[in-house]
Amino acid sequence: MSSSRLELIDKAFKKMDATGDGVITIEDLKRHYDVSQHPKYKTGEWTKDKVLQEFLNNFQADTDNVVSKSVFTLIILNGAPQRILKSLSVALIG
């Protein structure tokens, strides 16, 4: 694995971990993830919290509903599905 790819993953994690506590939570996502363009949010089918929860679930959040840096990194390195990578790029804009 190239060091530049690991640095990019680290940067993404740090941006999403808004509180700097070493895990990503829904509260962290609320600061960076603009749900306004999510299709199910636009139709009113899902609330903002539901969109954020589903995004978090993509990373197999543990029972505390958090994603650790190690899990985040493994999911990205192991070929995260395109929908996750697209959501991640949207979350990191801004």
Per-residue pLDDT tens digits for 26-70: 999 888 888 888 899 999 999 999 998 888 887 765 667 888 998
Does residue 93 carry a pLDDT above 90? Answer: no
- d(CA 62, CA 30) in angstroms, rounded, equals 19
User: In the prediction, which pLDDT does 85 show?
Assistant: 56
Does residue 9 carry a pLDDT above 60? Answer: yes
Q: CA 50, 35, 45: angle at the middle one, nearest 5?
A: 50
Token pair, residue 50, equals 């539901």
User: In the prediction, which pLDDT does 94 show?
Assistant: 47
Q: What is the mean pLDDT of residues 10-34?
A: 89
User: In the prediction, which pLDDT does 17 show?
Assistant: 92
Go through the domains of the chain in sequence order and give each one's CATH number. 3-92 (1.10.238.10)
Does residue 19 carry a pLDDT above 90? Answer: yes
